[in-house]
Amino acid sequence: MSQTLQSQLAADILHRINVQSMPVGARLSERSLAEALRVSRSPVRTALRQLAGQALIDPHPDGGFVVGQGALQVKPAALAGESADEAIYLRIAQERLDGQLPNRVSENELMRRYDITRSQLADILRRISNEGWMERLPGHGWAFTEAMTSSVAYAQSYRYRILVEPAAILEPGFIVDDAGLRQCRQEQEALANGEINNVSPAQIFDANTRLHETIAACSGNTFILDSLRRINRIRRLMEYRKAVDRQQALRRCHEHLVLIDLLLAGKLDEASTMMGTHLRDAAREKKAEA
């Protein structure tokens, strides 16, 4: 694993510790972190060792690691800024949307095009594969999966969400996921309290889609959840292409907090109305950016 990916994972782990307000001494589960960060346990273990080497987390007598005092005093942005790998990652996304990359590419072609090593490329492709917009072909090469590339389709995705997401909250089987929503609330609150200025566009996108998908899952309707996941997966690159307006992103965080509190209070009718207003406002903002 390259130093860049290791540092990014370490920063992601530190971010989760801060967002979830984990106390000193809390166990850090390799399995849970690997599932949350969508990587295998091996790179998570290496990143944990890096954090331990920086005295941010502590070893546990029975094995593994626990949150250390240092983890609560360092911001995630201090561990990983925009790296060369991040720049290449965003360039691949941009050039795919611009039609400069074919549907199928080999690793050798990508290495030559971006003048990077096989190790660097492996880290970038692992991230892209985890996010679902590229997949390894049997035997050799990689293929881009479906992605949203037109402004018309992007606008349609928001109109679909305006129809479906408010209705999901009014589904007969809707059950509030208290723990899931509170975890999302901690994440949104951290962003609203200043982290919105430090995190990457990908981290903002992930935090917001995590909340919307958590709410969709509460509906108990698998068709709603599956359709929203698919839309979020294929619109990811379009979101990366747009410049991030941090003030707009901050306003959406505050709206998310209001929405979560309505759901936790059982005010489903108000939450449904709020969801519709929130999505319509976001759609207008996105259209203005186009």
Q: What pLDDT is attached to residue 19?
A: 64
Quick one: angle between helices 118-131 and 3-19, nearest 10? 40
In percent, the amount of the chain with pLDDT more than 90 equals 39
Q: Please state, in angstroms and as integers, the Cα–Cα distance from residue 279 to each residue in 50, 129, 153, following that order.
A: 40, 28, 16
Q: Which amino acid is at 23?
A: P
Q: Identify which has the larger pLDDT, 213 or 22.
A: 213
Q: Please state, in angstroms and as integers, the Cα–Cα distance from residue 131 to each residue in 22, 116, 174, following that order.
A: 26, 21, 28
Tell me the average pLDDT across 243-264.
Answer: 92
User: Half-sphere exposure of residue 207, counting CA atoms within 13 Å on the CB side?
Assistant: 30
How many CB atoms lie under 10 A from the CB of residue 191?
25
71-85, 231-245, 257-271: lowest mean pLDDT where?
A: 71-85
Q: Tell me the per-residue pLDDT of 115-124, one tens digit each, with 9 for 90 and over.
A: 988 888 988 8
**pLDDT tier at 78, thresholds 50, 70, 90:** very low
Q: Strand, helix or coil at 88? A: helix
Strand-strand pairing, 65-67 and 57-59: antiparallel
- Whether pTM > 0.75 for this model: the answer is no
Dihedral sign computed on CA atoms, order 65, 70, 75, 78: negative
Q: Which amino acid is at 263?
A: L
Strand-strand pairing, 142-144 and 104-105: antiparallel
Mean pLDDT of the chain: 85
Q: Tell me the per-residue pLDDT of 169-183, one tens digit each, with 9 for 90 and over.
A: 999 999 999 988 998
Q: Tell me the per-residue pLDDT of 191-242, one tens digit each, with 9 for 90 and over.
A: 898 888 877 777 788 889 989 999 999 999 999 999 998 888 888 877 776 6
Q: Please state, in angstroms and as integers, the Cα–Cα distance from residue 234 to each residue in 7, 123, 153, 247, 287, following that order.
A: 27, 21, 10, 25, 18
Tell me the average pLDDT across 38-61.
Answer: 86
Q: Report the distance separating Cα 255 and Cα 253, nearest Å.
A: 5
